[in-house]
A and B are shown apart, each in its own frame.
Chain A
Amino acid sequence: MKKFDVIIIGGGHNGLVAACVLSKKGKKVLVIEKNEKLGGLANYAESLSYISKEVIDELNIKIEKNVSENFISALSEDLNHTVLKINDSKNIEFLQTSASNSDQKNFINLINKYNLFARTLRSFMFKRPPRVKSGSRSDIWQLFSMGFKVRRLGKKNMRELLRVIGLNIADDLEDNIESNTLKGLMSNEAVIGTNLGARSPGSILNLLYNQATNNSLFRINKFNTNSFLNIIENICKKNNVEIQTNKTVEKINILNQNVNSVLLNTGEVIETSAIISNTDPKTTYLELVGASNLDTDFIRRTKNYRTKGTVAKVNIEFESEIKIKNLDSSYSSGKFVYAPDIKYIEHAFNDNKYNKLSLNPCLEFYINKNQLSANVYFIPYLINSSHDKEKILSNVKLILEKFIEENQIISSIIETPNDIENKYNIYGGHWSHGDMEIDQLLMMRPFYGSSQYSTPINGLYLCSAGTHPGGGITGINGINAAKQLLKVQGNG
C-alpha cells in the first residue's frame, strides 16, 4: 500500500496551489479529483482580474497579462446602453452613457471611496486571520493591527468605512447617484453570487470584499484562468505530485482524533498522516469526517453555515454571430450586465427568499462570436426538488431578445446550483462555498472552531473557498492552509 505525506481532497485551484507549496517542501503529495478535469469551480471563470503578489512570490510563477481592453456594458431597455472602459482600478472612463455629468462624477467618486476601503481590507485579508477566544499574543496583536490599519484611514474615512460596512448598497447608491442604470451596474457586483439583495445589509461589505479579492470593483479580464491553472498543474507535475482523477473520497478514517487514511469510492484505502480538504466545510465535516467524531456544538455550527447557491450558469450557442442592438461591436469583448435598477434586483431576490424561480432574473454575460455564457441570478438552490430548466432558458431568452439582434438558438447548457452541487460535491452549489457575510468572514470563516485552516481533527486542514479569505480565484486559501500544515508539523 502506498503512503503519502499529504492527501489533498479535490483538485480545485486551491488544492493544486496547496500541493505546489507542499511538494516544494519535499512532501509526497496525492491529489484526488472527482472530475476528469482539474480546476473545479475555477473552470467557470474565463478570466481573472487579479493574481496577488503573495501567490506569485510563493509559487515563483510568471503569468502573462491579457492586453485586450476591458469594457463593461450596462444594458438598458431603451437601448441607451452605458459602456465603461476599465483601465485599472483607479482609471475608469465612460464611453457612452445616458447618465448626467454629475452622476458620472459621483459614480467615479463612489468607486474611489470603495477602492480606498478595499485596499485597507486587502492589507489584512490575504494573511492568516487571528483566532477568537484563543488569548494568544499573536492573535491579539493581529486584531490590534487590523484595527490600526482601519484607524490609519484618517478620522473622516474611518468613520465613513464604519458607517457603510454594515450598510446595504442601495442606500449608499441612492445617496449619491440618480441614474438607475449605474445603480444597477454597481449593485450587480455587490449581490451576484450571494444571498443578498441590493437592500440587504452587508451588501457593501460583500462588494468591498470582492473588490479586495479582485483588486478591482468590476471583475475584468486581465489573466486567463486556464493559463493560471496550467501553470500550477505543471508545477505539481514537476514536483512529482501524484494526481488521480475520476475518483472521490468517501470517508476520512479517524483514529483517536488523528487522520489515519482515506477511503475512495473505488474501495481503495490510502494511508496518510495529513489531509487538506479542498471540498467545502459542510461536505468535509458532515460527510467525510462524520458527526460521530465531532462535538455537537461544532456540528450545530456546521449545519448552520449558510451555503445556498443562487447563480446558474447558462451557455447558449447561437446560429450566427451575436450582435447587441445599438452597441458598437468593438465593445463585445467585454462584460454585459443586465440589472436595470435596484427595484428589479430586489424583486429577483424576493423570489430567491421563497425558493422560487425569478421570472425576471439578473444577467451577467460574455459573448464570443456565436456563443454566449451567462451567470443568471437569482436561481436558488433547492433541497428536495429541481428547477425546470426550460423555464430558466425561456426567461433568459425573453431578456436577451430585447438586446440581441434576431438569431436562432442552436443549443444550450444550463447548470443550476443543484447541478453544481452534484458535479463538484459542493453543498448548495455555492460559488464561494458559503455566504460571504459578516458572521462568516475572517476569523469566523467558516465558523468558530474551524478558523485558521485547522479543524478539530489533528492532521486535517481546510483549503477551500469556505476558509478565509473566501471565494474568488486567489489561491491564498491553498497557500495559507499548506503553510498552516507545515507550521503545525514544525517545518514551516
Chain B
Amino acid sequence: MDNTLSFTKPLLETPFHKRTFEACYNNDWYRWAGYKIAREYSNTELEYTSMRNTAGVLDITPMHKYDIKGKDAIKFVDKLVTRDVTQIKPNQVMYIIWCNEDGNVIDDGTVFCFDKHHLRIFCAERNLNWFSDTAIGFDVEVKDVSDSIAALAFQGPLSCKILHLLNVKNIENLKPFFFDNFNLNGSKVTISRTGFSGDLGYEIWCNPEEAINVWDSLFKFNRDYKILPAGMNALEMVRIEAGFIQPNADFMSAEQALRPNRMRTPFELGMGWLVDLNKNYFTGKRILNDLKKKPLTKKLVGLDIQGDKPAIGSVLYDKNRKEIGIVTAGMWSPSLKSNIAFGYVDNHHMKIGSKVFAEIYHPEELEYKKIWAECLVVKKQFFNPQRRHKVPADI
C-alpha cells in the first residue's frame, strides 16, 4: 500500500471494486469522496437504458453515512433539519435538507430510523463537522461510519422482481421510504426502497465482506433479465429526469460557497415543501420565517427546451434578450423524448408555463452551432411513473 513515489494517497477501492473493475471496459474512473467509482462502464446510454427498462446496479459506497446514537438522537436531527422528524417511526426513511443560520441549504440527504435512539444520515457531501457542532448540547454521539458499510443502488422497473427471484421475502410489500433487514442469497443486508432514479428502486446496504456475494447475486438472472452496472454518467441522466438536485452542481453548499450571494435557500431551490416553520427551533428557522414572507428573486425550475441539443451551461434570457439566469444541468431525455434542463430564472419567469430563451452552443465537427431555443418553464420532476409508488411493487 505504501506509495513512496506519490505525494497523494491513491484513490480507495470500494468493496465492489473487484467486480466493477472487471466490468469497467472503459477504465474510466470518477473520484468520489476519495474512492474510485466508474464514470462509464462501456456505454452511458446503454447503462441508462438498463436502469429505465430492466435494472441498473450502482456502487454508492462512497456516500457519507453518519450514525446518530443517544438519548437525544431524534431531537438532534430535528434541530438539524427543516422538516419535523419527531414523528419518525422505526424502519422509516425521510428525505431531509439542512440549512445554515442564514437559511441557505448546506446539503440534502436521507435519515434512517433504526429506533428512537439510533438514526443514520446519508448524504453526498462531508458533514461531520457540521453535525458535531450541531450536536453540542445534545446527548448524542455522531460517528462517521462511511467506510464500514458497502452500498449498492439497484434501480429500475425489474428491481423488485429480481430481488423477489432471489428469495428476498416480502420485498414487494416494502413501502417507498421504508427499509428493513433481509436475507439476500445468504447475506444479511438492509434494503431501503429509496433511490436517485425516480423509478422503482432499492438501495442495498451490507457489510463490506458480503459485498461480492451481493453484487454477484444481483446478476444471477442476467440470462433472462439483462441488468447492467451503471456509472455516474448514467446516474446523472436519471436524476435529472427524476428532478433531483445535487449540491455543488445545482446549488453551492452553504458550507462550501465562498461568495455569499451564491448560496441558495430552500425556497429558491423549490424545496419550500420541506420547510416546516411550525416545528421546534432548527438552524435557520428565524431567517426562513422572514424569507417566506418575501418574494423570491430567483428560483431553480425545470425547463422543456425546443430542439434536441442539450443546453448544458447555457445562459437564459427573457424575450428582450436580457440575461435572467443559467442552466445548471441539462440533457436530451431518451425516455421522454424531450430536451430537459434545470435552470435559475428571475422572479418574472418562475411560474409554470413562462417562456424563456436559452442560448445553446452546440459543437459540431470543430465548430459551434449557436442555437436560440425557446424554453417552457415546467415542474422539475420530469419523470414519475406510477410503479415508483405502487405497493406491492411489480414482481
Contact = CB atoms under 8 A, between A and B. Distances in A.
Interface of A: 257, 286, 290-300, 303, 449, 456
B101 A296 contact: yes
14 contacts: A286-B136, A291-B79, A292-B280, A294-B281, A295-B100, A295-B101, A295-B284, A295-B286, A296-B130, A296-B133, A299-B134, A300-B133, A303-B136, A449-B101
B133 A299 contact: yes
Interface string B273-311: 000000011011110000000000000000000000000
Query: Which of B80, B136, B280, B284 gathers most chain A CB within 10 Å?
Result: B136
Interface of B: 75, 79-80, 100-101, 130, 133-134, 136-138, 280-281, 283-286
Contacts of B134: 296, 299
Contacts of A292: 75, 79, 137-138, 280-281
A449 B101 CA distance: 10
A300 B100 CA distance: 11
Nearest to B134: A296
Given A299-B137, A300-B133, 7 more contacts: A286-B136, A291-B136, A292-B280, A295-B101, A296-B100, A296-B134, A297-B100
Nearest to B135: A291
Contacts, number: 44
B333 to A, nearest CB: 38
A333 B136 CA distance: 49
Contacts of B280: 292
B136 A456 contact: no
A98 B75 CA distance: 67
Contact of A299 (B136, B285, B286): B136
B283 A297 contact: yes
A456 B137 CA distance: 17
Contacts of A456: 286
A293 B281 contact: yes
A174 to B, nearest CB: 40
A298 B286 CA distance: 13
Nearest to A295: B101
A285 to B, nearest CB: 9
B137 A290 contact: yes
Contacts of A296: 79-80, 100-101, 130, 133-134, 283
A299 B80 CA distance: 13
A374 to B, nearest CB: 37
Contacts of A293: 281
Query: Which of A293, A297, A300, A303 gathers most chain B CB within 10 Å?
Result: A297
Contact of B286 (A257, A286, A291, A303): A257
A298 B100 CA distance: 10
Nearest to A291: B137
Contacts of B136: 286, 291, 299, 303
Nearest to B284: A295
A363 B134 CA distance: 42
A299 B79 CA distance: 12
A299 B136 CA distance: 8
A286 B284 CA distance: 18
Nearest to A293: B281
Contacts of A295: 100-101, 283-284, 286
Nearest to A302: B136
A286 B283 contact: no
Report the 7 A-B pairs with minimum CB-CB distance, sorted nearest first.
A291-B137, A295-B101, A297-B101, A296-B134, A295-B283, A296-B283, A300-B133
B123 to A, nearest CB: 15
Nearest to A448: B101
A298 B284 CA distance: 10
A251 to B, nearest CB: 12
Nearest to B100: A297
A478 to B, nearest CB: 27
Contacts of B130: 296
B84 to A, nearest CB: 14
Contacts of A257: 281, 285-286
A296 B136 CA distance: 9
A298 B79 contact: no
B137 A298 contact: no
A298 B281 CA distance: 13
Query: Which of B138, B284, B285, B286 gathers most chain A CB within 10 Å?
Result: B286
A281 to B, nearest CB: 15
A450 to B, nearest CB: 12
A290 B72 CA distance: 14
A53 B133 CA distance: 43
Nearest to B130: A296
A293 B283 CA distance: 9
A290 B133 CA distance: 13
Nearest to A133: B260
A352 B130 CA distance: 30
Nearest to B137: A291
Contacts of A286: 136-137
A303 B137 CA distance: 11
Nearest to B76: A292
Contacts of A290: 137
B135 to A, nearest CB: 9
Contacts of B101: 295-298, 449
Contact of A303 (B75, B133, B138): B133
